[in-house]
Amino acid sequence: MSGSTVPPALDGPEKDIVCPACRQHCKYGPSNPWRPFCSARCRNADFGAWASESYRMPAAPDPADDDEAAPSGSGL
């Protein structure tokens, strides 16, 4: 194991990326402490969106819920 504190994924040259929050170009590498964001402001805005559950994945309706809504006097 090497004595380097830089993770292997950041070992190479810095990459030019787009900030996922504000879409500005920034560097992805050890010189950017907020990576993959361009600034602490963008990082904190993204964290706030996660904390307030603004990011949600759509879910398919549960088929068991449909069974409970069916009338019980169907005669079956």
pTM summary value:
0.57
Cβ-count burial 28-60 (b if 16+ within 10 Å, e if not): bbeebeebbbbbeebbeebeeeeeeeeeeeeee
Asked whether 33 and 27 are in contact (CB, 8 A), the reply is: no
> 20-73 pLDDT, tens per residue?
999 999 999 999 999 999 999 999 999 999 888 888 888 888 777 665 555 555
Secondary structure element (H or E) that encloses residue 36, with its range: none
Secondary structure element (H or E) that encloses residue 66, with its range: helix 63-69
What domains can you pick out in the chain, each with its CATH number?
A: 12-54 (3.30.50.10)
Query: Is pLDDT of 75 > 60?
Result: no
Strand residue runs (E) in the chain: 15-18, 25-28
Count the neighbouring beta carbons within 10 Å of the beta carbon of residue 75: 4
